[in-house]
Structure 1
Amino acid sequence: MAKLISIVTPCYNEEGNVEELYRRIAKVMENLPYEYEHICIDNCSTDSTVAKLKVLAAQDKRLKIIINARNFGHITSPYHALLQSHGDACILIASDLQDPPEMIVDFVRKWEEGFKTVLAVKPESEESTVMFFIRKTYYRMISRISEVSLVNNATGAGLFDKVVIEILRKLQDPYPYFRGLLCEIGFPIATVPFKQPRRQRGVTKNNFYTLYDIAMLGITNHSKVPLRLMAMGGFLLAIISMLAALGFLIAKLIFWNSFQLGVAPILIGMFFFGAIQMLFIGLLGEYIGSIHTKIRNMPLVIESERINFDVPE
């Protein structure tokens, strides 16, 4: 019996892309010697995405749909869909077609070579130069401070053997940094480089908050370096403050009548130390927020509907 490959495509307001996405995935899988299921998880779209998916699912029982009760965000929704897969391997790609479905062939080839984890990486991209530079800088930084070696420029798309998926099920992480978890598991990771195309239809769902969210998630989940920098920075600033105070005292004692401290240094010092304190408190808040999210143990998503999951494989 042929092995089963699960293909997961998370979507939100992708009415202009889901039909082409379905066709391109079906075309790729026609040329591979595997059975497949296509799991599309919709994060409570407000356009006609779900309606179009239901039409396709009525024609092809291999297309399975999960509809979330509300928008649960870009982190938990794809992760939940991965855990619902039943394949010998599971492939995750974006539904905006910026992860070309044709990469599935390269993912499967690496899997057949024995890799349990395969990740797509984008050493170059057609997105804005500034955003691409910021992403590369972030991944370089997080790789240096992380407790495990991370894959630079990974998009999150890739193939994961059923062994990896089973480990992820046991972890029960309610708000995972997925790329970091894959590296923490420890299996050798194969990479598939590609040039990411520009989005052709629809509007990107990423904004400053979502990008900041995933950036801080990567830091708080996989590094204690910021916490230790706070402790060392506080100690260093205390020493500098004491030395500055001693210097001012000596200057005042030597030049008692002529030395005037003035208001400007006091204000500058107050604003500087106030800013440092706010930065440290903010970083501590991120770590505390991460802990709070995990101890609540909320489900990844709440589903409102499933389609075609009751169909025998």
Structure 2
Amino acid sequence: MKNITLIIPCYNEEHTLPDLISELSSLIGIHKSYTFHILFVDDGSTDATQSILKEYIKSLPITIVSLSRNFGHQAALQAGLDSAEESIIVLLDADLQDPPEVISDMIKKYEQGAKHVIAKRSQRNEKLIKKIPAHIFYYWAQKFSEFPFPREVADFRLLSPEVHTAYKSLPERKFFLRGIFAYLGFTPEIVTYTREKRQKGTSKYSWEKMIRLFLDSIPTLSSEPLRILFPLSKIVAATILTIVLLILLLWFSQGLSTNNLLLICFLLIGLSATYIIGTLSIIALYLHAIFQQSQNRPPYIIDSIINAEQ
């Protein structure tokens, strides 16, 4: 029988875990031709998440990879991918907004020959405050990406052993996983579903974390922002030069009052400062990514691994 490993990051999910595990038990019962393994990555939870998971270890094929602190959602997924043995991999969040029954559709696609199956949200039944930043994120991520990057697709996906092996061959230490899987290729098949509101617990993705994820995604997806700096600098320089020439022309032909001259000077300073700040921000974004990679630190630290044998 083929093996399927479900990788599920958890951070303070004590309220959703019983329902999630119940649904996963039903899923395992449906697909008897596969051997399932459930790998929960506890991302430094401070509630009863780990205690609840331990209650199910004897009855289900569960392994708990416990991280030494909260490293973040992407790092927790990476810990699961690195810890999983060669098998079919499914990435799934613990909040039940991405329904586990969709995995059955993914498995069908895999059985039809797909090596990479992604779950696309056809509808988001969420609050507007969550929808707006998500739409902005996907729009700009798609604009920046140098390779096909589908919209309304998060980390919920199935990876064949070939894709998992290709992922493990990459030298980077810290990933924006959606960008990495897009880079790997393996033209994905798509299943669609409706993303529901979170019924229990609270979302762990604040505005600050979403902005950080977006900024981290840019160096992974593209070098285009760096490439546009040179042509943009020529446009800005030409604009400033044109304004200066117009000022000189007006100065000699009509004269300019001190107030008008000061206003124009402030506009020129503002334009120049905006360009400089924007340029430095883009360069800093890529320098930060290079700095993180050069540190060669692991993106996560495993505190313990717990399974039925321990």
TM range (shorter): over 0.9
Q: Following the alignment from structure 2 to structure 1, what is the Cα–Cα distance between the partners of residues 67 and 3?
A: 25
Q: Following the alignment from structure 1 to structure 2, what is the Cα–Cα distance between the partners of residues 135 and 144?
A: 14
Q: Residue 8 of structure 1 aligns with which residue?
A: 7
Per-residue deviation, 1:309:
7.4
Per-residue deviation, 1:260:
6.2
> TM-score if structure 1 supplies the norm length?
0.93
Residues 136 and 148 (structure 1 numbering): CA distance in 2 closer, same or farther, change over 3 Å? Answer: same
Per-residue deviation, 1:226:
1.2
Q: Following the alignment from structure 1 to structure 2, what is the Cα–Cα distance between the partners of residues 302 and 260?
A: 61
Per-residue deviation, 1:259:
8.1
Q: Following the alignment from structure 1 to structure 2, what is the Cα–Cα distance between the partners of residues 172 and 54?
A: 34
SS at match of 1:123: strand
Q: Residue 264 of structure 1 aligns with which residue?
A: 263
SS at match of 2:260: coil
Residues 35 and 260 (structure 1 numbering): CA distance in 2 closer, same or farther, change over 3 Å? Answer: closer
Question: Which runs of at least 4 in structure 1 moved beyond 3 Å after TM superposition?
Answer: 256-262
Per-residue deviation, 1:300:
2.8
Q: Residue 39 of structure 2 aligns with which residue?
A: 39
Q: Following the alignment from structure 1 to structure 2, what is the Cα–Cα distance between the partners of residues 126 and 173?
A: 35
2:49 partner letter:
T
SS at match of 2:169: helix
Per-residue deviation, 1:214:
1.5
**Matches of residues 155-166 of structure 1 in structure 2 within 5 Å?**
155-166=154-165
Residues 307 and 259 (structure 1 numbering): CA distance in 2 closer, same or farther, change over 3 Å? Answer: closer
1:302 partner letter:
I
Per-residue deviation, 1:10:
0.3
Conserved in 1, the CA contact under 8 Å of 2:42 and 2:65? yes
Q: Following the alignment from structure 2 to structure 1, what is the Cα–Cα distance between the partners of residues 308 and 175?
A: 25
Q: Following the alignment from structure 1 to structure 2, what is the Cα–Cα distance between the partners of residues 142 and 51?
A: 38
Number of equivalenced pairs? 309
Residues 310 and 300 (structure 1 numbering): CA distance in 2 closer, same or farther, change over 3 Å? Answer: farther
Q: Does residue 307 of structure 2 align to residue 308 of structure 1?
A: yes
Per-residue deviation, 1:21:
1.0
2:43 partner letter:
N
SS at match of 1:245: helix
1:86 partner letter:
E
Per-residue deviation, 1:295:
1.6
Conserved in 1, the CA contact under 8 Å of 2:240 and 2:268? no
Q: Residue 198 of structure 2 aligns with which residue?
A: 199
2:307 partner letter:
N
Q: Residue 56 of structure 2 aligns with which residue?
A: 56
Conserved in 2, the CA contact under 8 Å of 1:69 and 1:302? yes
Flag structure 2 segments of 5+ consecutive residues without an equivalent: none
Residues 171 and 310 (structure 1 numbering): CA distance in 2 closer, same or farther, change over 3 Å? Answer: farther
1:287 partner letter:
Y
Conserved in 2, the CA contact under 8 Å of 1:67 and 1:303? yes
Q: What is the aligned-residue identity percentage?
A: 23
**Matches of residues 1-313 of structure 1 in structure 2 within 5 Å?**
2-32=1-31, 33-57=33-57, 59-60=58-59, 62-256=61-255, 261-308=260-307
Per-residue deviation, 1:154:
0.4
Q: Following the alignment from structure 1 to structure 2, what is the Cα–Cα distance between the partners of residues 257 and 161?
A: 71
> TM-score if structure 2 supplies the norm length?
0.94
Q: Following the alignment from structure 1 to structure 2, what is the Cα–Cα distance between the partners of residues 37 and 173?
A: 27
What RMSD, in angstroms, separates the aligned Cα atoms of the two structures? 1.8
Conserved in 1, the CA contact under 8 Å of 2:250 and 2:256? no
SS at match of 1:261: helix
Residues 309 and 265 (structure 1 numbering): CA distance in 2 closer, same or farther, change over 3 Å? Answer: farther
Q: Following the alignment from structure 1 to structure 2, what is the Cα–Cα distance between the partners of residues 135 and 79?
A: 22
Conserved in 1, the CA contact under 8 Å of 2:98 and 2:156? yes
Q: Following the alignment from structure 2 to structure 1, what is the Cα–Cα distance between the partners of residues 82 and 238?
A: 51
Q: Following the alignment from structure 1 to structure 2, what is the Cα–Cα distance between the partners of residues 256 and 63?
A: 81
Residues 51 and 237 (structure 1 numbering): CA distance in 2 closer, same or farther, change over 3 Å? Answer: same
Per-residue deviation, 1:138:
2.8
Residues 261 and 267 (structure 1 numbering): CA distance in 2 closer, same or farther, change over 3 Å? Answer: same
